[in-house]
Amino acid sequence: MSAAPTKLLLAAPRGYCAGVDRAVQTVERALELHGAPVYVRKEIVHNKHVVETLRAKGAIFIDELDDTVPEGAMTVFSAHGVSPMVHAEAERRQLRTIDATCPLVTKVHREAVKFAQDGYTIVLIGHDGHEEVEGTMGEAPDHIVLVETEADVDALELEDPSRVAYISQTTLSVDETKTIINRLRERFPQITGPRTDDICYATTNRQSAVKQMAPICDLVLVIGSQNSSNSNRLVQVSEELGTAAHLIDNAGQIDDTWLDGVETVGISSGASAPEELVQEVVEFFRARGTSDISEFEVMKEDVRFMLPKPIRVAMAAAESA
């Protein structure tokens, strides 16, 4: 067993954001109100532990609304959002649907529709293949082009450079996205964008906390799954500041060799990672003798989102029955 670090710092804010909390609760309430199975298109949020916990309760996760979903089945759309084609397919199959799309992702969808209606070519900053990007592009597929890097911006050839707008995935690196937006403005001086930043408050706040915590740490551990965009960005933020960082699903993935010569460990977690996983990591170190454990609070969050209307209606009906 390696020597334990002398100090643990717990980044705050960390973990669940309002959109994730709403999405997970949506599946839990759907199971309680309607019984199993409840079908969920894609992972409700990008976290292995959450998906496995909900699967054990009766959720069935599917990639697409194919014939494996019985006609009329209760189906939840994930927090990452879906395209109009998916909604249309669900209607054709007469599925009973609950849309758990994060309201901040819905905001980006509405921006895409509005810019397209106004005749703009839309540059979407995001990661190719990410579910959020696929859903957003589906809102106006003939009007949207995707860029991931400044090089992608340099390669853009647009029909009307005077009618260009940009939007972005909600879980990107704040600094990287600013750099890409600046490059877009250099290339297309008349470009327009959303009235408020598309990168969500939770992504921004968690990156800010790690940005301030990492310089006083020897190692940063980020709890989150490999397919979680915002969790990967937290690792990136730490590494860019020169502090070693690793993305782990749980305490069982901590490698003893990471701890050699380490005095202070910072811990954060992605917006889809439950707090119980953070506490398991804290207990891992406490069991090794680390006793100096403190919160590294950068700001408080008090954002809450209402549950989707079908859940609220069903809950009210159940209470009055």
- Which positions are annotated as active-site residues? 132
**CB count in 10 Å sphere of residue 227:** 14
Query: Is 80 one of the annotated binding-site residues?
Result: yes
Residue 229 marked ligand-binding: yes
**Residue 17 annotated as binding?**
yes
268 annotated as ligand-binding: no
49 is in an annotated binding site: no
272 is in an annotated binding site: yes
User: Is residue 87 part of an annotated ligand binding site?
Assistant: no
- 217 among the known binding-site residues? no
* 205 carries a ligand binding annotation: no
Was 264 annotated as part of a binding site? no
Question: Bridge partners of 269?
Answer: 223
46 is in an annotated binding site: yes
Annotated binding site for [4Fe-4S] cluster: 17, 102, 200
List residues forming the annotated binding site for dimethylallyl diphosphate: 46, 80, 130, 228-230, 272
* Residues making up the binding site for isopentenyl diphosphate: 46, 80, 130, 228-230, 272
Q: Which segments are annotated as binding site?
A: 17, 46, 80, 102, 130, 170, 200, 228-230, 272
